[in-house]
Amino acid sequence: MSLLDQNWSAGGNADDEAQDDNQQGRQITTSRDGTLMLIECAPHMFERLANQMKQDSSIDDDDEDAQLTTGFQLVMRACQRFYQSKIISNDKDLSGIILYGTENSLNAFDFKHIYILHELAQPSAERIIQLETLSDKDAYKTKYDELFGSTQATGYSLNEALWTCSNLFSNSPQRLTVKRIFIFTCNDQPHASNLTLERQAKQRAKDLNDVGIQLDVFPILTETIIKFDFKKFFQDVLMLSDEDLDIRNNQEPTGRLNELLKLVYSKEHKKRAYCTVPFSLGKAADGTPLGFSVSVYNMVRPCPKPTKIKLDMKTNLETKIVTKHYLPETAEILMPSDIQYGLDVSNRRILFDSDEIKAIKKFGDPGFELLGFKSLSCLSPHHYVKPGHFIYPDEKYVEGSSCLFNALLKKCLEKKMFILCQFSARRNTPPRLVALIPQGEEMNKRVKNDRLASNGFHVHYLPYADDIRTLPKNDTTRAANDEVDLFKNVVRGLKFKYRADKFENPALQTLWRNIEATALNKGEPDEFIDLTIPSVENQNRKVAGYIDELKQMIFPPGYVMGATKKSAAKRKCETNGSPGSAKKSKDDENIDVEAAAKSHLLSKLTIPILKDYCRDKKLKASGTKKQDFIDDGRDLILCRSLSSAVNHRDIGGFIYSYKYLTMSNSSTKTAIESALIADQGPWASVGEHPNAITNRFYTYERVEEIVAFIQNIVPTKPEIAIICGSGLGGLAELVVNKIVIPYADIPHFPKSTVVGHRSNLVFGALNGVYVVCMQGRFHPYEGYTTATCAFPVRVMRMLGAHTLIVTCAAGGINKDYSVGDIMLIKDHLNFPSMAGNNPLIGHNDERFGPRFPPVGHAYDRQYSSQMKQVAKKHNLQLREGIYCALGGPCYETIAEINMLRLLGCDAVGMSVVHEVTLGAHCGFRMLGLALITNKCLSEYDSTVEALHEDVIRISELKANELQQLILDFVGLLKQNKK
């Protein structure tokens, strides 16, 4: 077990932590790398690049490489790009830049000709802008002379430069996992004339290697420096073997930015395994376990967008999320020690403690367990569960792992077999079935010593039987051979060479380019070429002829979508036959023209179908064009729907049919209105008030029907009805033994469409009293009449409730009010009612209530007094004021708020008053509470606007106080009843 114990504390890659929780083998550690760029500023670095002269003829003036004429510019631009990539990929990593060979000096030890341009820190916009200036073709020399001196020194010491780098690493306040020094130079023997300095530099490099600081060199060739020999000096500095020396000397130095960056990234790229596990091959004859150790690497990982950080609107400080658990019956906050975990199985709840939970999660020791070998042909490409890994032998824990691993790999490659294994990345990870697919080494034939693929196994996750989905087998018509040949030509024409590393994520790149442009004060972001967008012009050029042929073959002249294909003989027979003898197809006979009209699909039907319908209905068409048949048929169908809606008092059908018909010409509308009035009486005129239509629809008998439906589900009569406002639906969660009925399940019941309203009727006991809660109310701005918005009050009254509690979110008009205050509604100002939009307009059924109900004391004074006692008990400041209702959905203007303040209003909202009006009409005792979620604008200098998201947020934050008030108020009513 020593291997496992060491592994879990050692492995890790912080980059992989950002992946989803399903990714196996996550090691939760924090890593931060440090990279120092050590740049030589000798005179040769300011000469023209060696390969630049050869490429001038083939480079456009706009090409970035054309602007980088010297080695110093090239390195500065590479450092700039390195900084930019760090901000995107690993913003926690530290970077710095040190120049040696400068006239001026800036370092902690007063070393001559060594200048610390950037201390070891996270990249910033200021640093990137400075590097951009130092690489600019026109401005770099002036900036260089200003900072570092006009002449380049030659008497510098590389030993002192390396010492300065070591000191920066030592003084770093952050703990660094990896430390690197990248040396950019054009001099392969910097101390050729001074053996002492050369010996000191080599010893310093050895000391750095001993303490874990990695060194690497990037040679830059110029017009006079045309060859770089590592053997002269840097072989000892980098401690290269003879084999590595040959590779380095045969590697062509670069003068192009992209090639230099590729080299830098290849050295900087993290190659740490995120876990190291044992690979078990089974047991020998004597029972000895046989196996070796492997390191697991991620080949692909998602690159996500940066996580959004929630900030306080006033202070811009980062907010924290706090989760609390409470007991529904008492609203008592529970500590973690008070919580158990359970699982419902067969109507029985089984409880577990924390130790049992840990034991359930343990599946066994991590590692690979060999199951057997299978031919590679058995693998199905579509059995791809998630991105896999790559494994390589690890000699650190088990000696001889490489020998056994390579033997296994060699045989798998020869036999073309894969290894079937069980794999667990860690102890609490469920085991997965994986295929280890062998991969041999592959070299780039064009570039010497460039390895394209390494020896090892790819870990391919396989699905279990439970993961596989079977598709229905459809007997589709097989395409003809000529159609297949045409499609083959299309496929051949659109083939292209695909390389995954060439396709950047357009959403991610666009985001970062915009962020970068903002941070670096650019006029506009850098241009991004989205390779995921096909070149339509190029495609048309290659396959346009084949596409035209396919269109003519698959969609011949006279083709009708959905119609069955007819043979030429049959079409000829139908053409020669008489119109009367032609039989309609089954498809034509099954078409519902009226349903198509209501779904706005008449244009999809053919002219013969429309003609037949008009002939059957004895409708004379106004023309011969298809649109004439569509218009005439649609008007007739919707006119009949309108008349049917009136007969059956279907308000939804009436409004739909009439609204659609009002888009017709004026003569059609006049004829329809006249026919309806003659048939149904004056009330059918379109001039009738919408509330009157609603009240005719929601008759006493219809409300009884709704009540009967609910009572079949909930036999207990509620005593108190509660309407939950925006963001306050959590009050219903305190109800115990609850029964939830969605509005969508209740006949003739509307549905709330506003965020923060859940559209449920919740029945149950609240503090010992049976209640009904509306989780979501209706508003006129949703398109409902005020009568529709308020009609649930009648339903709850007929269910048996005698008390109505209305809650809402409101804006504070009173300047003494603060966000989060709770206001007890003393009275209200009903602007919609004053504008002639009272929910009681229309026919009055005395069984609901009187024709002219009083609402002067709609809010019960005794209830208000009792609520004040409850608030005093909890030391809560309870405001009392006038609530004003407006139509919405717009929040109020400054002029409107100032007017309402003059009228004596303390809070403003878009609900409550319609429900209270109907509540007074049917005899409810009522209590109203408003949560102040925003302060209304009353000054023109203010720039803060009210947002519905803020209303919901404040409601959820302060909901506990309001819920506690209502909870205790209900308990007080229960006590008074006794």
Handedness of CA 834, 838, 844, 848 (dihedral sign): negative
The two structure tokens encoding residue 649: 């008092």
What distance in Å separates the CA atoms of residue 887 and residue 485, rounded to the nearest whole number? 65
Provide the phi-psi class of 185: left if phi over 0, else alpha when psi is between -120 and 50, else beta: beta
Looking at 118, 389, 757, 914, which residue is catalytic? 757
What distance in Å separates the CA atoms of residue 179 and residue 166, rounded to the nearest whole number? 10
Residues 6+ positions from 861 with CB-CB distance below 8 Å: none
Neighbours of 205 (CB within 10 A): 22
* Coil, strand or helix at 920: helix
Handedness of CA 123, 125, 131, 132 (dihedral sign): positive
Looking at 166, 691, 726, 837, which residue is catalytic? 726
What distance in Å separates the CA atoms of residue 625 and residue 281, rounded to the nearest whole number? 80
Check if 325 is active-site.
no
Check if 948 is active-site.
yes
DSSP 8-state class, residue 102: B
The residue to which tokens 């057997």 are assigned? 372
Looking at 911, 914, 915, 921, which residue is catalytic? 911
Check if 843 is active-site.
no
Tell how many helices (H) and how many strands (E) occur in the chain: 32, 27
**Which one, of 327, 324, 331, 332, lies nearest residue 970 by Cα?**
331
**Which one, of 919, 939, 940, 900, lies nearest residue 810 by Cα?**
900
What distance in Å separates the CA atoms of residue 610 and residue 624, rounded to the nearest whole number? 11
282 alpha carbon, distance to own chain's centre: 45
Looking at 121, 395, 781, 938, which residue is catalytic? 781
Check if 911 is active-site.
yes
The residue to which tokens 């309806």 are assigned? 676
Q: Which residues pair with 722 in a beta bridge?
A: 773, 805
What distance in Å separates the CA atoms of residue 329 and residue 883, rounded to the nearest whole number? 32
* Coil, strand or helix at 426: coil
Check if 781 is active-site.
yes
What distance in Å separates the CA atoms of residue 860 and residue 862, rounded to the nearest whole number? 6
Handedness of CA 799, 803, 809, 814 (dihedral sign): positive
What distance in Å separates the CA atoms of residue 858 and residue 925, rounded to the nearest whole number? 7
What distance in Å separates the CA atoms of residue 686 and residue 683, rounded to the nearest whole number? 8
CB-CB contact of 604 with 596 (8 Å): yes
Instruction: Tell me the H-state helices in 276-400.
Output: 354-361
Looking at 119, 948, 956, 960, which residue is catalytic? 948
Check if 779 is active-site.
yes
* Coil, strand or helix at 545: helix
CB-CB contact of 155 with 190 (8 Å): no
**Which one, of 122, 85, 130, lies nearest residue 268 by Cα?**
85
Looking at 45, 597, 684, 809, which residue is catalytic? 809
Looking at 191, 460, 779, 921, which residue is catalytic? 779
The two structure tokens encoding residue 127: 């640093």
- What is the rounded end-to-end Cα distance, in angstroms, of the chain? 69
Check if 796 is active-site.
no
Residues 6+ positions from 467 with CB-CB distance below 8 Å: 385
DSSP-assigned letters across all residues of 477-498: PPPPHHHHHHHHHHHHHT----
Check if 44 is active-site.
no
Looking at 782, 844, 956, 960, which residue is catalytic? 782
Dmax (CA) of the chain: 117
The residue to which tokens 């059957």 are assigned? 616
What distance in Å separates the CA atoms of residue 916 and residue 680, rounded to the nearest whole number? 33
**Which one, of 948, 897, 960, 955, lies nearest residue 931 by Cα?**
955
Check if 782 is active-site.
yes
243 alpha carbon, distance to own chain's centre: 49
DSSP 8-state class, residue 564: P
Catalytic positions, written as ranges: 726, 757, 779, 781-782, 809, 910-911, 934, 948
